[in-house]
Chains A and B, each alone.
Chain A
Amino acid sequence: MKNFIYFSLISFFTIGCNTTNPIHQTTKEDPTDSSLLPELKRVFMDGGLERDVEVVSINQGMANEDLLRIQVNLKNLTKKSMNLNYKIEWMDEDGLVINDSSATWLPVYVRGAEIVAIKSVASSPTVQNFWLKLQRAKR
């Protein structure tokens, strides 16, 4: 009886309400940095994806002459395949988020140790910076 109660308690604390799914975020350190490989600023929570996934680099350029275009190179640090969701939010020179169709969660499948490229183009010439948000998929 005693063992059962202890086991139940531990189970409640470890698996009960397991709904936390922290988001890993990456942006340019300097929003005005227009170099091909800008310096990055990474924000993540403990227990999140930082052990399994690495944003190796981000390449940037222009599309349609004046629209910011980025390619995020993402590496799976584990041997197992994983399903991730990502979202890119574009920001103008004042740091305000632009309301466009990029602001939606999209799925990406990454095989073990694979590097995948996530590409996106801003829809407005006023865009200077972005937030890449990464999250482990539900399944």
Chain B
Amino acid sequence: MKYINKYLIHILIFIFFTSCSERRPIGRAADARYIEDSSEKGLVNLDKINSQDFTRASNKLLQDLFITGALAKAPNQPAVLHIGEIRNDTQTYFDTDLLIQGMKRDLLASNRVRISTTEGGGGKIADQYAKESRAKINSKDPFAINSPRPYFSLSGKIIEETSRVDKVTQKDFYFLLTLTEINNGTGVWFGRELISKQGRRGAIGF
């Protein structure tokens, strides 16, 4: 019996030292590794928008845009799209290209639009460029026809809302995009994607 117990203790010690050993090759803290783009093993943090959130928001917004068929209504295909101002109204700084760049790639892949990269707008108004373009068209400015004139303009903003009950925090990030048809100055698609995260503190993976 004593012999069996000794044998079992050796097995236990062996399992303890060899199981999962590839995760921590040198010391307890050495566990850095690469993860996939927008992996389910990425960090879930409450305080800011992370890479999964940007990808998810751009994916959902694009799908909504495709379903409405707004891009297919342009008389000349592919229509020229201008990317207007995307305002970051959250508490943390980030470049809004993190949202838009993926959308541009998928929009081009759809063959419905070409994206203007030589024209730019700005200002406090939601879509300053669309406004200026319309002013040029109305005043018959000869410069207005020198470059391919965008048919659509995309603008938007990202808003953050925080709620707390006891120690539980909920962060709501609203991604609001508007597609404007420049010819008549009206919105043809209003996209809204909400990403809500709730918890006491961040976690690894979801």
Report which A residues bind B (CB closer than 8 A): 1-2, 5-6, 8-9, 12, 16-17, 63-67, 69, 85, 98, 100-107, 119-121, 123-125, 135, 137-139
Contacts and interface: CB of A to CB of B under 8 A. Distances in A.
B19 interface: yes
Given A16-B15, A101-B103, A138-B205, A120 B5 contact: no
B8 A101 contact: no
Contacts of A2: 1, 4-5
B153 to A, nearest CB: 19
Contacts of B52: 104-105
Given A2-B5, A121-B63, A139-B206, 9 more contacts: A6-B8, A9-B15, A64-B66, A85-B40, A100-B59, A101-B55, A104-B59, A124-B106, A124-B109
B38 interface: yes
Contacts of B205: 138
Interface in B125-173: none
Contacts of A1: 5
A101 B102 contact: yes
Interface of B is mostly: helix
A67 B110 contact: yes
A76 to B, nearest CB: 19
A102 B40 CA distance: 14
B12 A119 contact: no
B10 to A, nearest CB: 11
6 contacts: A17-B19, A63-B67, A98-B109, A104-B38, A123-B110, A124-B110
B178 interface: no
A120 B63 contact: yes
Contacts of A17: 19-20
